[in-house]
């Protein structure tokens, strides 16, 4: 009966998430809204099918671990350092103000200070998923404002990780005999021991383990290894060091993220994270009681005011005071005006500690849904507002003071210095790939190699060639290799599996890119050209051409005659388009 309930909960929850996620996506909203609404639909507070909340919550714990692993995997200290002058003080100020406002609101509603503190912290941290989605949809992710917002969020994420560690020590005093300072000191010691162990042992053990598994060329084993690392370190952190599993997962992600395997781990192993993350959002949605919202309307309205007005106002004032362009100021402020996954993680901790009530969780879920729905709409008002302000030169000039602030990371150095026509992506570094790379470099074209042999990737990087370890069929791998900014992509391996899929994905990322593909046989040519290849070369065709050229040369044909016959043969063989 238990297994039947599990299957029913999984099927019902995921099916509802699929339907609602699809419709919210089509409406231009984040699918997270759909997942939360799906959870409400299958939850105990609405009529119809009711999923097992306890089972959903247990599965959601795996989602939290994998979410935190993904955060650690994608944590780039370079992004934070590039915008640290504004992101660090900005995130600290905004987090403190939002937490203080949330705490004051909760205390005003008659809650305890401890409940108010957790409620305020949950209102302070924005959703990474929503922020990146909104910035990407408006082509602002790789702009000055986008990098500031992402760096800002990195700081907020770090605060949340710290909170996940400290909250049990602060509020689990019922199970401890010593004073608060002793509990905090003991927690700090355990966390330091875990971080030290992970920092010392992780880089020595995990990359070697991944080396052994990667050499098997088995995608399933690699995916399984990454999941075991994430879950194993998370569980070990709890059992051995008695700290949050979320912290262990975050540290595990950081270790893998610093290795050559970060991209492949993100593209191969983390789709499972997405499935469990959906279950996490569904389990949170199951906590929403729509009927109880009316009785706590004042709380929800106050929380929404903090998220939609208080947080962005603090960000706008601070970024503008640091003399950034006004459009950058508005973009950062509006992008951060929402809450999501980390708020729910904090709320989960609060419930487990017996501090947050169902009313608090209900208000947080309702606030999150409303803020995620309104955030893209608010973001679309930035450009019309900018046009309106530009039509008033005096006001625009007052808002855009001479700044002298550089455009942080508007584009990478490679983006500025290399013209797309002189950038090529080469898939595969076999004998043909090596020759292609050498000839490209000799002719002033910057190559980036995608390869699944980690030793070859390391050798290329040592030789000064940009190389990406990953599966070329994954859009993330092609993006990391710079396909959207390249002039050509070359599939240099004959008989490469899923070549047509790679070509279609590359075309989707960059419709104008020249795609040069290699087929093992002439029969492969039509499929490759139909997928979008600009030119296709087959081993059979090129061998035939080489024979003809040799014979003509031996008979004393001129260079012009040989070129003419070569062109005719290419046309007859349909090798080149």
pLDDT in tens, 239-297: 887 766 777 887 888 888 877 777 778 777 667 777 777 887 888 888 788 888 888 88
User: Tokens for 38?
Assistant: 């799906």
Q: Where are the beta strands (DSSP E) in 159-203?
A: none
CA distance 61 to 402: 49
CA distance 428 to 450: 6
Q: What is the CA radius of gyration of the chain?
A: 27
30: left (phi over 0), alpha (psi -120 to 50) or beta: beta
Task: Break the chain into its structural domains and give their ranges.
Answer: 2-379, 413-573
Given this model, what pLDDT does residue 563 score? 77
DSSP for residue 426: E
DSSP for residue 494: T
> Are 426 and 440 contacting, i.e. CB atoms less than 8 angstroms apart?
yes
Q: Spell out the per-residue pLDDT of the chain, length 577, in tens.
A: 466 777 888 888 889 999 999 998 888 777 888 888 898 898 888 888 888 777 777 777 787 788 778 777 776 666 667 778 888 899 999 999 999 999 999 999 999 999 999 999 999 998 877 787 788 777 776 677 888 887 888 788 777 777 877 777 677 654 445 565 666 677 778 777 877 888 788 888 888 888 888 888 788 888 888 888 888 888 888 788 776 677 788 788 888 887 777 777 877 766 777 777 788 788 888 878 888 888 888 999 999 999 999 999 999 999 998 888 888 899 999 999 999 878 888 888 888 888 888 889 889 989 988 898 888 888 889 889 888 888 888 888 888 865 545 444 333 334 444 567 788 999 988 888 888 898 888 888 889 999 888 888 888 888 889 998 888 888 878 888 889 889 899 987 766 667 888 898 899 889 889 998 887 777 777 888 888 888 888 776 677 777 877 777 777 777 777 777 777 766 665 544 4
> Are 107 and 293 contacting, i.e. CB atoms less than 8 angstroms apart?
no
Q: How many CB atoms lie within 10 A of CB 502?
A: 26
CATH class belonging to 2-379: mainly alpha
Given this model, what pLDDT does residue 180 score? 59
Q: Which CATH architecture has domain 413-573?
A: 3-Layer(aba) Sandwich (3.40)
């Amino acid at each position: 009966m238990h297994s039947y309930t599990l299957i029913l909960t999984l099927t019902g929850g995921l099916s509802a998430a699929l339907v609602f996620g699809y419709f919210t996506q089509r409406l231009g909203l984040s699918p997270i809204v759909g997942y939360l609404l799906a959870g409400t639909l299958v939850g105990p507070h609405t009529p119809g099918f009711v999923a097992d909340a306890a089972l959903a919550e247990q599965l959601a714990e795996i989602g939290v671990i994998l979410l935190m692993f993904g955060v650690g995997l994608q944590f780039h200290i370079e992004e934070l350092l590039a915008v640290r002058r504004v992101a660090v003080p900005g995130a600290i100020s905004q987090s403190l103000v939002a937490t203080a406002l949330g705490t004051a609101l909760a205390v005003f509603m008659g809650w305890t200070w401890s409940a108010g503190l957790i409620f305020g912290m949950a209102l302070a941290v924005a959703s990474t998923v929503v922020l990146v989605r909104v910035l990407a949809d408006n082509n602002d992710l790789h702009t000055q404002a986008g990098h500031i917002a992402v760096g800002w969020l990195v700081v907020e994420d770090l605060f949340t990780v710290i909170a996940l560690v400290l909250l049990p020590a602060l509020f689990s005093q019922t199970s401890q005999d010593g004073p608060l300072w002793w509990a905090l000191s003991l927690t700090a010691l355990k966390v330091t021991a875990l971080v030290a162990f992970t920092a010392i042992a992780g880089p020595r053990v995990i990359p070697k383990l991944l080396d052994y598994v990667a050499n098997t060329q088995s995608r399933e084993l690699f995916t399984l290894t990454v999941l075991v690392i994430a879950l194993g370190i998370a569980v070990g952190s709890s059992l051995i060091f008695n700290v949050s599993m979320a912290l262990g997962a975050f540290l595990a992600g950081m270790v893998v993220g610093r290795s050559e395997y970060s991209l492949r781990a993100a593209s191969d192993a983390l789709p499972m994270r997405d499935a469990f993350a959906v279950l996490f959002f569904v389990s949170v949605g199951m906590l929403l009681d729509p009927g109880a919202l009316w009785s706590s309307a004042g709380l929800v309205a106050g929380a929404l005011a903090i998220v939609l007005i208080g947080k962005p106002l603090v960000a706008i004032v601070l970024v503008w005071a640091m003399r950034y362009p006004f459009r950058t100021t508005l973009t950062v402020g509006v992008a951060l005006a929402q809450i999501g996954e980390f708020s729910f993680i904090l709320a989960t901790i609060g419930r487990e500690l017996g501090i947050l009530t169902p009313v608090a969780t209900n208000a947080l879920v309702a606030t999150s849904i409303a803020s995620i729905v309104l955030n893209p709409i608010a973001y679309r008002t930035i450009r019309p507002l900018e046009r309106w302000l530009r039509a008033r030169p005096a006001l625009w000039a007052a808002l855009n003071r001479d700044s002298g602030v550089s455009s942080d990371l508007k584009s990478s150095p490679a983006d500025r210095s290399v013209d797309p026509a002189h950038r090529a992506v080469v898939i595969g570094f076999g004998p043909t790939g090596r020759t292609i790379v050498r000839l490209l470099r000799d002719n002033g074209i910057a190559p980036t190699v995608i390869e699944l042999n980690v030793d070859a990737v390391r050798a290329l990087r040592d030789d000064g060639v940009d190389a990406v370890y990953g599966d070329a069929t994954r859009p993330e791998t092609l993006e990391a290799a710079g396909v959207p900014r390249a002039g050509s992509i070359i599939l240099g391996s004959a008989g490469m599996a899923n070549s047509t899929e790679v070509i279609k994905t590359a075309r989707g990322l960059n419709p104008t890119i020249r795609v040069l593909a290699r087929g093992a046989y002439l029969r492969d040519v039509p499929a490759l050209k139909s997928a979008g290849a600009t030119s296709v070369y087959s081993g059979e065709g090129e061998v035939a051409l080489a024979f003809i050229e040799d014979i003509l040369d031996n008979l004393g044909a001129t260079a012009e005659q040989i070129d003419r016959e070569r062109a005719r043969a290419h046309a007859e063989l349909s090798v080149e388009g």
